[in-house]
Amino acid sequence: MVADPGSAANARELREIFEQLGATYIKLGQFIASAPGIFPDAYVTEMQALLDRTTPVDFADLEKTLKTELGDDYRKHFRSIEELPLASASIAQVHAAVLKDGQSVVLKIQRPNIEAKMDADLGLMSFAAKLLEILLPDTKRAGVTDVIHELGKSMADETDFIQEAKNIQEFEQFLINSDETDVVVPQVVKRLSTKRVLTMSRLYGSPLTDLNVVRKYTKNPQAVLEKALATWFQSLATAGFFHADVHAGNLMILEDGRIGFLDFGIVGRFSPKVFESLWLLIQGVSEKNYRLIAKSLIGLDATGGGGEKVEEDKFANELKAVFDKVNSFGKTVEKAVARGDEINIDAADLNSMVLQIVSVARNNGLKIPREFALLIKQFLYFDRYAQILAPGMSVYQPKFLPQAKT
């Protein structure tokens, strides 16, 4: 569908306003970019720019956070701090640094006053969404209020670096308990970490999407992917939680051939009672059994109705239509790999697929927990990694899958 010029102009103006208003609105724009079918095409297209571009904050502004969190004399802990960021996002920036003892670290520093700004913005958005649903009842089907609620939960997770540090250490303990030495996470420097500053050891390597660089560090890219998959699935099965943002920047092959999981700002957790439905979903995706996928999602219904009014056959057919698009997209990636083209895993495409699955569930009277949407998204990420590193390999082989809890 081609957007008319007026819509395109309006979308561009809204995107520019979002950029000026800051982090919360940038996050909202990123959601719009990932939600075709909910928002007009022109807006979805224009908001793509917010997925990859966040203007860095001057280091002088970030120093306010460092001084508040680590003290006015924070520099006494460091030999050096790079003022140009390694990465910049809507909530925080990452800067390379060297401690006094010579250890290379990264500093993840929140933007000034970001939490207060987000709280105020989310309150206004929530009020506006509820008012819109009262004035225009048909908009309630789009679930805008739910979108704002989930956005708030996600951003609350991402602004609590104490919790993120705990997530890293929990995953690290899981690796220790599993006697796993080929997979690592950054070491948290506790004495220099607070709610708004996170100091971690620096890992050197390459994203798994860069096949040429991956081949410099290993002779067997498929084995690397298999190890990452098995570890991720095992954390889900044995520890009840999973890394919920394994995009290209957060899953690396290190220079010594080990695998590094980065950025634990978002993790998913499942209670034992939902694990059976989770297991059915994994089996269903593995076997392309859409009735089983439908049954698993019905079992996860968060409305309390138990999916009693859902027509399972109709639901399964609608899910099949979405997964057919996923499979078609996968074949496109495989062809690009075969040609030797540069591959980028498009977060917008993956988000779109997840939202389509959630939308199908909603249209059938179900409410899918946030953790399940996060889980599906990670499945899609790993599927894309497989198409790049090991075309033809299924990420749902029995050797990767967790065993159902009893």
Verify that 282 and 386 share a domain, yes or no: yes
Do residues 155 and 295 share a domain? no
DSSP three-state, residue 271: coil
Residue-level pLDDT at 405: 46
Residues 259 and 341 in one domain: yes
Choosing from 150, 174, 202, the residue where a domain stops is 202
- Residues 133-178 pLDDT 10s: 676 665 565 566 666 766 667 777 788 999 999 999 999 999 999 9
Query: Both 323 and 222 in a single domain?
Result: yes
For the chain, percent of residues with pLDDT exceeding 90: 32
- Indicate if 118 and 32 belong to the same structural domain: no
Q: What is the pLDDT of residues 88-130, one digit of tens each?
A: 887 899 999 999 999 999 999 998 887 777 777 667 777 776 7
Residue 255 CA neighbour count, 13 Å, CB half: 4
Distance of CA 76 to CAs 58, 97, 110, 197, 202, Å?
Answer: 21, 12, 20, 16, 19
Average pLDDT, the chain: 79
Give yes or no: residues 281 and 396 share one domain. yes
Residues 105 and 188 in one domain: yes
Which residues have CB under 8 Å from 238's CB, separation 6+?
174, 177, 178, 402
Catalytic residue positions? 245
Total tally of structural domains belonging to the chain:
3
**Same domain for 50 and 79?**
no
**Measured distance CA(356)–CA(350) in Å, rounded:** 10
Pair (80, 186) in one structural domain:
yes
Enclosing domain of residue 26: 1-54
* Co-location of 110 and 70 in the same domain: yes
- Boundary of a domain, candidates 158, 173, 202: 202
Q: What is the pLDDT of residue 332?
A: 55
The pair of three-digit structure tokens given for residue 391, joined into one six-digit string: 């075309």
What is the reported pTM? Answer: 0.75
105 shares a domain with 219 = no
Q: What is the CA radius of gyration of the chain?
A: 22
Q: For residue range 256-290, list pLDDT tens digits in order.
A: 999 999 999 889 887 666 667 777 777 787 778 88
Q: Which tens digit of pLDDT belongs to each residue from 356-392? A: 777 788 788 777 777 777 787 788 788 888 888 888 7
- Are 110 and 253 part of one and the same domain? no
